[in-house]
Every structure is written in structure tokens, then in C-alpha cells.
Amino acid sequence: MAKPIPEPVDSSRLKELALQVVQADRFPFQATIDADQPRLRPVSPVKTDGFTVYVANLRSYHKTAEIAANPKVELGYLDDRHDQVRITGVAEIVTDQAMLQAIWDDNPLLRQYLGSIDNPALIVYRIRPTRVRYMKEWALDYHEVPLGPD
């Protein structure tokens, strides 16, 4: 059986193609490190701004301690055509009250489960991308996505 040959990727459209995958996948997987063991879990971003992703969390969750010990994370996105995006980045706690309020206002599930934006259990991480890679279907060839302005 011959290996399928994917369509070529237009390098001028890499950022656009990668953003489409990010927008299509509601539940990407997030990888963290727990001592010497990688941990992988689905997350539901509460805000996405380009390749900067915001993830809400509870302080009691295991990933809180994992991120505190090592803030380097990776998010994996997959769309229904099997195109992939991997966002490598650094997770940092969001402290900006205006940003937290905007996220709170836009996410009814947060309000339903936590009751108040001042709930001490709530923590929101901003994942700042340091590297973004895009792969078309099963090409097994990642393309570096430019992070700067268009």
C-alpha cells in the first residue's frame, strides 16, 4: 500500500491554516510535566487570541502544581480533516482584573460552577506561545508557523 501524498502547504497561508485548526477544535489536549512524567489532558479554553490561549483551572487540580513547578506546556489541536497544530508555550497566571472580568463575562459555565469571580478556587492561565507548528493531515511533516505580525 502506497503512502498517501498530502496536498502541498502554501507557506504564505501557514498562519491562517493553523488558526483555522485552533478555532475548529474546542477541546485541545494540554501537556504538562509532573516530576519526570508527562501528563496529557483535554482542556476547554475560555479565551483564544490568535495563538495565545487562556485556560481556566481550579487551584486544587493536579495541573496547578505541575505548572507551578514547570510552566512549560504544550497544546495539541486536531480538526476533522486531521490537520494538527501544536502550540508550545509558557503558562502564566492572569492577574489583570479587566481580562479576568472579560473572561468571566464570556463564560457562563464559570459563573455556574464557581458562583463568583472572586472564588479563591479559580485560576486562569495565559499560555504565551513560543513555537507553533502546523501539520496537514497525515503528512508527518510539521511547518513552523510565524508568530510575529502579518
Q: Which amino acid is at 145?
A: V
Task: Please write the tens of the pLDDT for every residue from 48-102.
Answer: 999 999 999 999 999 999 999 999 999 999 999 899 999 999 999 999 999 999 9
4-18, 28-42, 48-62, 95-109: which range is least confident on average?
4-18
Judge whether residue 1 has pLDDT over 80: no
C-alpha 20/C-alpha 4 separation (Å) is: 23
Confidence of residue 5 (pLDDT cuts 50, 70, 90): confident
From residue 74, alpha-carbon distances to 11, 29, 48, 102, 150 in Å are 23, 8, 15, 24, 23
Confidence of residue 149 (pLDDT cuts 50, 70, 90): low
